[in-house]
């Protein structure tokens, strides 16, 4: 039977409210970094409670780290306080915690400031445990997970001088144990502008995304409709020529809400010629094929996902940003296959820059860490399920080194989308779950 520690629900929610109020958004393309205000608050909060938290900076990106105890087995508790841009259509202020019917709304309430609050809450309790020489509990609260984690989690060894023995990456949802996540790779395909003329007239065509949520990794082929792919279908089937486009683009791993094309409808009865862009047209004609690129991977319930989430106009070219998810550490085969597809679709006109990603997460179900998580999940009457999830997480920096990890989180939704929400009862329960996991692992070290 679990003996639940008295964690103040009111104080936990109040802490989350404070964290949500910080506008912790990085926009690298615009040179915007989230700054020091939020991480400095975290450091001060922990230090006031006897936790030796430190601020770490790398190229203007900040994280908070430290440890409790000095035992042989190093357990890492990890979460992130940076969030994706808010987008449009919110019913409330995204940076103000709003509670209605036991649900909390705000940017970061489920991804991932809730888990930052949970870690900040249990660290003083962990400090009171008799860790002796058995267990060291490290913590890493990152400020750049949403843009890859290179500056925070990627510098773990520099901070702690050794890697952990196990990782609880508290960046999930649904009360399930997430042991697998695909590698998050990317590519930029560039095509030079190339104008041409044709007889016809110009019309504006707008296409919207029909998808639950906006996280690129959770696209469901056959069920969800990506606005760029809907536009690709219509351009191809109607033989339209594309002159220009605008879109509600947010970032590389977020599906845009809509895209508007200025298209030329061919009409030989019209004497006047209209200018369009041959390469932009070719791009839209072939997007529907490009996202079907296939290559060998390890088993994944999600398979391969390729999301064309941003199309940017530069001075003399168009740049398409692809978000690529696949269960593989070998990015070379993915790059080779994508280049082969681009050769077929675009000839010699394109250039491709491939981003290999930081690896996948793949922890065996029979590992001590996963078995312990299952035991404690059953004690809390959680689902006790080990699953794969679509999005990437900073657990990849450790899983790729063979270190057992799992991701976890309470009930919530709207990840990377509008009206992000969190179930407050599960928020409190999960905070207790995390503390119980530390105690259970400490028992196993004895």
Residue 323 placed within a domain: yes
pTM above 0.75, yes or no: yes
Same domain, residue pair 254 and 110:
no
Same domain, residue pair 303 and 367:
no
CATH code where residue 97 lies: 3.40.630.10
Instruction: Output the pLDDT for position 416.
Output: 87
Average pLDDT, the chain: 95
Residue 1 placed within a domain: no
**Could you give the CA distance from residue 412 to residue 420 in angstroms, rounded to a whole number?**
8
- Whether 156 shows a pLDDT value over 80: the answer reads yes
Which one of 355, 388, 409 terminates a domain? Answer: 355
Same domain, residue pair 312 and 415:
no
Same domain, residue pair 127 and 201:
no
Residue 262 placed within a domain: yes
Same domain, residue pair 86 and 146:
yes
Residue 4 placed within a domain: no
Instruction: Express each pLDDT in 178-189 by its tens digit.
Output: 999 999 999 999
The label of the residue with tokens 């899983």 reads 399
Total structural domains within the chain: 2
Same domain, residue pair 335 and 196:
yes
Residue 3 placed within a domain: no
Nearest Cα residue to 175 out of 382, 379, 424: 382
Instruction: Output the pLDDT for position 367.
Output: 97
Same domain, residue pair 201 and 332:
yes
Determine which helix (DSSP H) or strand (DSSP E) holds 55, and give its type and residue range: strand 54-58
Which one of 314, 336, 355 terminates a domain? Answer: 355
Nearest Cα residue to 134 out of 74, 77, 76: 74
> Tokens in use for 215?
């996280």
Bridge partners (DSSP) of residue 206 are: 260
Residues 407, 371: contact at Cβ < 8 Å? no
Same domain, residue pair 125 and 197:
no
Same domain, residue pair 162 and 218:
no
Q: Looking at residues 32-49, what average pLDDT do you find?
A: 97
- Is residue 4 very low, low, confident or very high in pLDDT (cuts 50, 70, 90)? low
349 preceded by a cis bond (ω within 30 of 0) = no
Instruction: Express each pLDDT in 332-376 by its tens digit.
Output: 999 999 999 999 999 988 999 999 999 999 999 999 999 999 999
Instruction: Output the pLDDT for position 218.
Output: 87
Q: Looking at residues 190-219, what average pLDDT do you find?
A: 93
- Whether 111 shows a pLDDT value over 60: the answer reads yes
Q: Looking at residues 152-173, what average pLDDT do you find?
A: 97
- Whether 165 shows a pLDDT value over 80: the answer reads yes
Same domain, residue pair 334 and 389:
no
Same domain, residue pair 385 and 411:
yes
Instruction: Output the pLDDT for position 5.
Output: 60
Instruction: Express each pLDDT in 272-317 by its tens digit.
Output: 999 999 999 999 999 999 999 999 999 999 999 999 999 999 999 9
- Is residue 219 very low, low, confident or very high in pLDDT (cuts 50, 70, 90)? confident
- Whether 389 shows a pLDDT value over 70: the answer reads yes
Using only C-alpha atoms, the chain has a radius of gyration, in whole angstroms, of 24
Determine the structural domain holding residue 432 and report its residue range: 9-182+360-445
Instruction: Express each pLDDT in 391-412 by its tens digit.
Output: 889 999 999 999 999 999 999 9
- Is residue 1 very low, low, confident or very high in pLDDT (cuts 50, 70, 90)? very low
Residue 49 placed within a domain: yes
The share of the chain scoring above pLDDT 90, in percent, equals 90
Strands 421-423 and 135-142 turn out to be unpaired
Which one of 328, 355, 382 terminates a domain? Answer: 355
Residue 2 placed within a domain: no
Residue 430 placed within a domain: yes
Same domain, residue pair 240 and 333:
yes
Q: What are the backbone angles phi and psi of residue 197, rounded to the nearest 5°?
A: -130, 150
């Amino acid at each position: 039977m679990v003996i639940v520690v008295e964690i103040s629900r009111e104080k936990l929610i109040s802490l989350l409210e404070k964290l949500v109020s910080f506008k912790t958004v990085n926009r690298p393309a615009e040179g915007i970094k989230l700054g020091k205000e939020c991480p400095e608050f975290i450091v001060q909060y922990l230090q006031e409670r006897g936790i030796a938290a430190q601020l770490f900076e790398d190229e203007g990106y900040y994280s908070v780290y430290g440890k409790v105890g000095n035992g042989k087995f190093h357990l890492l508790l990890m979460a992130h306080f940076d969030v994706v841009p808010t987008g449009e259509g919110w019913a409330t202020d995204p940076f103000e915690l709003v509670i209605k019917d036991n649900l909390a709304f705000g940017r970061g309430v489920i991804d991932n400031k809730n888990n930052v609050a949970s870690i900040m809450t249990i660290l003083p309790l962990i400090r009171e445990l008799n860790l002796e020489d058995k267990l060291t509990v490290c913590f890493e609260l990152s400020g750049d997970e949403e843009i890859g984690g290179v500056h925070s989690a990627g510098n773990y060894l520099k901070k702690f001088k050794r890697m952990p023995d196990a990782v609880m990456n508290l960046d999930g949802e649904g009360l399930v144990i997430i042991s697998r996540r695909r590698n998050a790779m990317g590519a930029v395909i560039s095509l030079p502008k190339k104008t041409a003329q044709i007889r016809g007239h110009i019309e504006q065509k707008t296409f919207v995304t029909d998808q639950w949520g906006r996280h690129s990794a959770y696209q469901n082929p056959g069920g969800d409709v990506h606005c760029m792919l809907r536009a690709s279908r219509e351009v191809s089937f109607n033989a339209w020529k594309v002159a220009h486009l605008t879109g509600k683009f947010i970032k590389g791993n977020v599906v845009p809400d809509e895209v508007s094309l200025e298209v030329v409808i061919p009409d030989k009865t019209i004497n006047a010629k209209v200018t369009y862009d041959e390469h932009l047209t070719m791009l839209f004609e072939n997007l529907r094929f490009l996202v079907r690129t296939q290559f060998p991977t390890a088993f994944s319930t999600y398979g391969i996902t390729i999301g064309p989430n941003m199309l940017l106009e530069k001075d003399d070219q168009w740049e398409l940003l692809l978000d690529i998810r696949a269960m593989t550490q070998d990015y070379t085969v993915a790059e080779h296959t994508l280049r082969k597809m681009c050769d077929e679709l675009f000839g010699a006109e394109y250039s491709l820059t491939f981003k290999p990603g930081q690896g996948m997460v793949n922890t065996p179900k029979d590992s001590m860490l996963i078995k312990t998580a299952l035991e404690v999940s059953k004690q809390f009457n959680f689902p006790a399920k080990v699953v794969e999830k679509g999005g990437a997480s900073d657990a990849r920096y450790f899983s790729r080194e063979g270190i057992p990890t799992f991701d976890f989180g309470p009930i919530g939704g709207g990840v990377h989308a509008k009206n992000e929400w969190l179930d407050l009862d599960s928020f409190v329960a999960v905070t207790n779950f995390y503390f119980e996991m530390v105690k259970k692992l400490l028992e196993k070290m004895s």
